[in-house]
């Protein structure tokens, strides 16, 4: 199944969750008790409906016993037709653009990336790593298993955390409650100017990837994204394709991530956003996520989502849904005019009290589009 979990020293804290702390010795015993108490069924273990602490004990027990373990959203479980014999983790995509898709991966597909991830992030065994979402969101499960592999402490207490894994919208809020933070690890969606401003006193590491291919590229802000040494990328018809040892089971040799991207002359990777989020305004291509990043940097904009709306003359126009705090929509529109091209400028503005999100904290673009169109 790969490297053993957990990996810390006996007396060091391993889990600090819901007010209860387990050392690595106590976690080791809890894993042994789990194996003694629970027999896996034909599919292995299922940690999907367990509290975070118990779920991590279950995942560690599966790794030790050499059986698969499901870590899925109990409210939206994907339909599975098979369980690959080599599988360790049964997980799913976030469903931010539609329904979650079932995935299966080996232990090595994550564990093999942990050394380079450690070098990039600078996380150490002395850190307390804050989880900001459920384990069935793969970025949080990856964060927890990396912390345990390293011998760090997984916590849900912002006041004690020194490292946080978060999507940008969550990062903005959590930094106000986490005075000991030194490093923020951002994933799920590109960091917007507002999130970077909130974390300007921290070392910010951003990584790009997906549930299917895991880590692809990383950067320390403000440097550009660089592809990981073990990963190969190429651009076909504007879309990013990845060949990697970190992909899920059953993925093609070259996996199309679905994002529009460019490779720079110096090897930097520029990701523009989902290909399906491209808006054709009178023959001009507008990338929704690029507009969202601009709007997200305007004071008073908590979150922004841009979609294309049908138009009789232009084919499509840009519609912006914005969540505001302390500003008026007219002021946001005025400032946006000075930052966006005529084609990218939203013609329709829809203030929303809250953005629909996935369990991981990513904006559920598909659900929002259904509401607006």
Please indicate whether residue 272 or residue 228 has the higher confidence score (pLDDT). Answer: 228
CB 307 within 8 A of CB 365: yes
CATH number of 13-269: 3.40.50.12780
Q: Which two tokens stand for residue 202?
A: 């921290």
Q: How many residues are listed for the chain in this entry?
A: 373
- pTM, entire model: 0.80
So what's the pLDDT on residue 15? 97
Class of domain 282-372: alpha beta
Return the domain boundaries, the chain: 13-269, 282-372
**How many Cβ atoms from other residues are within 10 Å of residue 140's Cβ?**
25
So what's the pLDDT on residue 2? 43
Q: pLDDT-derived band of residue 359, with 50, 70 and 90 as boundaries?
A: low
pLDDT tens sequence across 261-318: 999 888 799 988 777 677 888 777 788 888 988 998 999 999 899 988 888 777 889 9
Residue 1 has pLDDT above 50, yes or no: no
DSSP per residue, 233-259: EEEETTEEEEE-TTPPTT--SSEEEEE
Average pLDDT over residues 63-69: 94
pLDDT tens sequence across 117-150: 999 999 999 999 999 999 998 999 999 999 999 9
CB 45 within 8 A of CB 68: yes
Residue 172 has pLDDT above 50, yes or no: yes
Q: pLDDT-derived band of residue 99, with 50, 70 and 90 as boundaries?
A: low
DSSP per residue, 167-213: -HHHHHHHGGG-TT--EEEE-SSPPPHHHHHHTTTSEEEEEEEETTT
Q: Which two tokens stand for residue 189?
A: 């969606």
Task: Give the HSE-up count for residue 166: Cα atoms under 13 Å, Cβ half-sphere.
Answer: 26
Residue 4 has pLDDT above 70, yes or no: no
């Amino acid at each position: 199944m790969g490297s053993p979990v957990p990996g810390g020293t006996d007396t060091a804290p391993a889990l600090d969750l819901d007010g209860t702390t387990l050392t690595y010795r106590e976690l080791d015993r809890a894993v042994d008790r789990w194996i003694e108490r629970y027999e896996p069924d034909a599919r292995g273990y299922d940690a999907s409906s367990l509290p975070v602490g118990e779920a991590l004990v279950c995942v560690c027990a599966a790794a030790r016993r050499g059986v698969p373990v499901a870590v899925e959203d109990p409210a939206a479980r994907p339909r599975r037709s098979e369980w690959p014999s080599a599988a360790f983790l049964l997980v799913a995509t976030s469903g931010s653009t539609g329904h979650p898709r079932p995935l299966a991966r080996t232990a090595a597909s994550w564990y093999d990336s942990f050394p380079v991830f450690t070098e990039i992030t600078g996380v150490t065994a002395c850190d307390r790593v804050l989880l900001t979402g459920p384990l069935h969101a793969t970025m949080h499960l990856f964060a927890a298993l990396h912390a345990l592999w390293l011998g760090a402490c997984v916590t849900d207490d912002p006041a004690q955390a020194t490292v946080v894994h978060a999507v940008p919208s969550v990062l903005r809020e959590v930094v106000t409650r986490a005075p000991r933070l030194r490093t923020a690890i951002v994933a799920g969606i590109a960091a917007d100017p507002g999130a970077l401003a909130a974390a300007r006193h921290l070392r910010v590491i951003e990584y790009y990837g997906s549930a299917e291919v895991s880590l692809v590229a990383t950067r320390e802000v403000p440097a550009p994204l660089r592809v990981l040494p073990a990963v190969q990328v190429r651009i076909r018809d504007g879309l990013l394709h990845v060949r990697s040892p970190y992909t899920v089971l059953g993925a093609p040799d070259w996996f199309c991530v679905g994002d529009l991207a460019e490779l720079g002359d110096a090897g930097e990777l520029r990701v523009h956003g989902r290909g399906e989020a491209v808006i054709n305004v009178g023959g001009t291509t507008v990338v929704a996520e690029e507009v969202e990043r601009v709007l997200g940097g305007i004071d008073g904009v908590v979150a922004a989502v841009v979609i294309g709306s049908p138009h009789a003359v232009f084919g499509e126009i840009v519609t912006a849904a914005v969540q505001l705090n302390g500003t008026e929509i007219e002021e946001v529109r005025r400032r946006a005019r000075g930052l966006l091209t005529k084609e990218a400028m939203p013609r329709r503005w829809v203030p929303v009290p809250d953005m629909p999100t996935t369990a991981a904290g990513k904006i559920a673009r598909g659900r929002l589009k259904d509401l607006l169109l």
